[in-house]
Amino acid sequence: MRNLRNTPVGATVTVRKIEGEGATRRRIMDMGITRGAEIYVRKVAPLGDPVEITVRGYELSLRKADAEMILVD
């Protein structure tokens, strides 16, 4: 499995697992990024941080450290 940070712009992927623990993992899940959710990668900043995605009908920006914790297919 690859992580969300390495997903190319324009790709739609499905969340398979969220790594990490505690408050960081809970924060990601509270944003609607849960197992089985579909994520569309809209764009990535020139230096790779942040990653802009669409999930559950809304747009969201994630830091690359958070995007690395999200494993996708």
Sign of CA dihedral 43, 68, 15, 73: positive
Pairing of strands 70-72, 38-44: unpaired
- Cα-to-chain-centroid distance, residue 17: 11
Distance between CA atoms of residues 51 and 58, nearest Å:
14
Predicted pLDDT of residue 15: 96
Helix (H) or strand (E) holding 23: helix 22-30
Predicted pLDDT of residue 73: 92
Predicted pLDDT of residue 47: 85
Predicted pLDDT of residue 48: 75
Could you read off the pLDDT tens digit of each residue along the chain, which spans 73 residues? 799 999 999 999 999 999 988 999 999 999 999 999 999 999 999 887 899 999 999 999 999 999 999 999 9
Predicted pLDDT of residue 49: 87
